[in-house]
Structure 1
Amino acid sequence: MLNQIDLSRIDLNLLVLFETVIEERHVGRSAQRLNLSPSAISHGLGRLRILLGDPLFLKTPKGVVPTDRAEELAAPIADILARVRSVVATAEPFDPARSQRRFTIGAPDGVSSVFLPPLLDLLAKSAPGIAISVRQLLPRQGEPSPDLAWRDALAALEARDMDIAIIPQAEFPVRFASLLLYEEDFVIAARQGHPLLTDQTLATYCAMQHLVVSHMGDTHGFVDNVLASHGCSRQVALTVPNFMFALAVLAETDFISALPRRFVEMHAARFGVVSVNPPLPLGRFAINAAAPKAAMGDEGVAWLVRLLQASMDNTIDKTAAHSGNRPAPIKADT
């Protein structure tokens, strides 16, 4: 967007002015918001037009409207300003009780549905000004290795596109710090009164119509691999793109689905969905929070990681705590 020569003479305040005008769509209101005169806003827009080579805003009887070029620039400029504000915020002592920072956490939807409610409870009590953006993470399609399936998430962390990733990955490159938040396994979920609840044999399970959560609509998953190892198979009648939608569908149909146990425990009851243990062990996996070690030098990020641990400590079941699966300290050693 800006070449090297432009960067040597650009005034960052011009980007703030652009952001304000595109939000307000009015020179007068923008002037009031920035404590400037309307003529100063107009002068700044003139400098921006020269710098960016576009009229940017066109006058109308009710204010101004952005050009197509201005609409294209809105998101990149907002991103630039967000990063600058984040840098400035980290230069000051971090006080969660007074901070107005926004943090971005990436996670699959079945994981964010578990950690977010207790995290929001703690934020409301101790850091009401903190804002959270949740970014949905998806594994690489067709990647057979669990520890490689989430490498796009790790790349996004290093690019600082998000602050923390919470993913079902056990091992991380040494340049990342990681924290075990909880361990997860699977249950079979179905509506109340479903025939499977009174006949939980493997044969009955395989004969049922199955729902699979798959963002891309793939019908084959790890459950099919487990069944195949025992000489069995199942019929996948429906795929849906997220776990909450899965619960809503299960409540109104005779489909069954293998879903994360902790997710089901937290959310299934309000849909009238219940669960039973699977007829075959479907394995356990670790849910870890990860951030680059360099990012952990940011007091705000380090605080948020600790808060995530505290939020899960408040909800973790006693069985996991007594079995030695309690979240461990941050692993930041090389």
Structure 2
Amino acid sequence: MLNQIDLSRADLNLLVLFETVMEERHVGRSANRLNLSPSAVSHGLGRLRSLLGDPLFLKTPRGVVPTDRAAELAAPVAEILARVRSVISSAEPFDPARSTRRFVVGAPDGASSVFLPPLLTLARREAPGIDIGIRQLLPRQGEPSPSLAWRDAIVELEARDMDVAVVPFGDFPLRFVVNTIYEEDFVVAMRAGHPFASNPSVENYCSMQHLVVSATSDPNGFVDRILSQHGLSRRVALTVPNFMFGLAVLADSDLLSAFPRRFVAMHASRFGVMGIEAPIPLGHFKINSIVPKVAMMDAGLAWLVGLLRQTGQTALAAAA
């Protein structure tokens, strides 16, 4: 990335600054994370621009956006820093009890709402100084395969927009480490006392009005594809952007919706919502954590991945 002449005047802290600004996309937030003033961050960016011969980040009303060159540098810089952190951690092992790091985990809310409560409990016990950010991940609507639907997660991981992705898909390229946290399927969610519960037939299911969780308001979901394979269809009367919002709507309506079983087990009762077995199989899948292999050299990140795997046992107990 740097030639020999440039290395003589390079500062490793500039790479940390670059990484932080890539993650935050905002000079002020980056300054807070680095315990620097905004002017110091701006000065550091100026040195980086001079060193690399590129603007790197362009100002917008909401912060900054990376140039194409900055996007190209994101993965190499992340790899360099991961190796440096690995060297440092070998001299001073990662200690969660004393760490004040902040990790970002990307996940759809149907998964994050399941693993986050036990994750916070474990983190408070083992690492009270660690902070966690949840980044909303959603599949691309209308893609013909899961690998295409979740390709944005690959891009965001390699850009270091997040440390770990937790998604219902595991067929990622070999440069990623995939660990199963828990297994999941879907139930039919509805308000308590809904008449469908007394007659949960396929015909009755298709005659009801349905709610679909879709960030883009696309009413055609995986349930519709399954129904079409059996020559069936349904009416999607409403779409909402996430599962938590969906629970609130189901509680005060006669709509039905396919919701993750463990999500329903952990959260539905607070809304007066219940779940029953679907009259037609709606599929079974694994919820996996995804991390670039090179990033797993970071002892802190490896610890977080292990903690996420522990949360799966709590998810299983909640659904039992």
Q: Which residue identity is paired with 1:241?
A: P
Partner of 2:113: 113
CA–CA separation in structure 1 for the residues paired with 2:138 and 2:318: 30
Matches within 5 A, 1:186-205: 186-205=186-205
| Kept after mapping to 2: 8 A contact 1:86/1:101 | no
1:217 positional shift: 0.5
Matches within 5 A, 1:25-40: none
Distance change (3 Å), C-alpha of 1:222 and 1:253 = same
Which SS does the other structure have where 1:216 is aligned? coil
Partner of 1:312: 312
CA–CA separation in structure 1 for the residues paired with 2:45 and 2:226: 61
Partner of 1:237: 237
Distance change (3 Å), C-alpha of 1:250 and 1:223 = same
Partner of 1:169: 169
CA–CA separation in structure 2 for the residues paired with 1:263 and 1:282: 15
| Kept after mapping to 1: 8 A contact 2:262/2:318 | no
CA–CA separation in structure 2 for the residues paired with 1:6 and 1:107: 39
Q: Deviations over 1:205-255 (max 9, x none)?
A: 111110000000011111111112222111110000000000000000111
Distance change (3 Å), C-alpha of 1:69 and 1:277 = closer
1:152 positional shift: 1.4
Partner of 1:255: 255
Q: Which residue identity is paired with 2:285?
A: F
218-227 vs 85-94, which moves further: 85-94
Using the aligned pairs only, state the percent identity.
55
| Kept after mapping to 2: 8 A contact 1:6/1:51 | no
Which SS does the other structure have where 1:212 is aligned? strand
Q: Deviations over 1:258-313 (max 9, x none)?
A: 11111111100000001111110111011111111111111011111111111212
Partner of 2:55: none
CA–CA separation in structure 1 for the residues paired with 2:184 and 2:42: 57
Which SS does the other structure have where 1:268 is aligned? helix
Q: Which residue identity is paired with 1:262?
A: R
Gaps of 5+ in 2: 22-26, 49-57, 67-73
Which SS does the other structure have where 1:161 is aligned? coil
In the alignment, structure 1 residue 151 sits paired with structure 2 residue 146:
no
Which SS does the other structure have where 2:239 is aligned? strand
Q: Which residue identity is paired with 1:304?
A: L
1:46 positional shift: 11
1:9 positional shift: 6.4
Q: Which residue identity is paired with 1:97?
A: A
CA–CA separation in structure 2 for the residues paired with 1:266 and 1:49: 45
Which SS does the other structure have where 1:248 is aligned? helix
Partner of 1:216: 216
Distance change (3 Å), C-alpha of 1:287 and 1:49 = closer
The root-mean-square deviation of aligned C-alpha atoms, in Å, is: 3.8
Q: Which residue identity is paired with 1:310?
A: Q
Partner of 2:24: none
Which SS does the other structure have where 1:173 is aligned? coil
Partner of 2:302: 302
Distance change (3 Å), C-alpha of 1:245 and 1:8 = farther
In the alignment, structure 1 residue 95 sits paired with structure 2 residue 95:
yes
Partner of 1:65: none
| Kept after mapping to 2: 8 A contact 1:89/1:101 | no
Distance change (3 Å), C-alpha of 1:88 and 1:97 = farther
Distance change (3 Å), C-alpha of 1:311 and 1:49 = closer
Distance change (3 Å), C-alpha of 1:51 and 1:284 = closer
246-255 vs 163-172, which moves further: 163-172
Gaps of 5+ in 1: 25-29, 53-67, 321-334
CA–CA separation in structure 1 for the residues paired with 2:310 and 2:240: 32
Distance change (3 Å), C-alpha of 1:245 and 1:7 = farther
Q: Which residue identity is paired with 2:262?
A: R
Partner of 1:64: none
Q: Which residue identity is paired with 1:316?
A: L
| Kept after mapping to 1: 8 A contact 2:82/2:295 | no
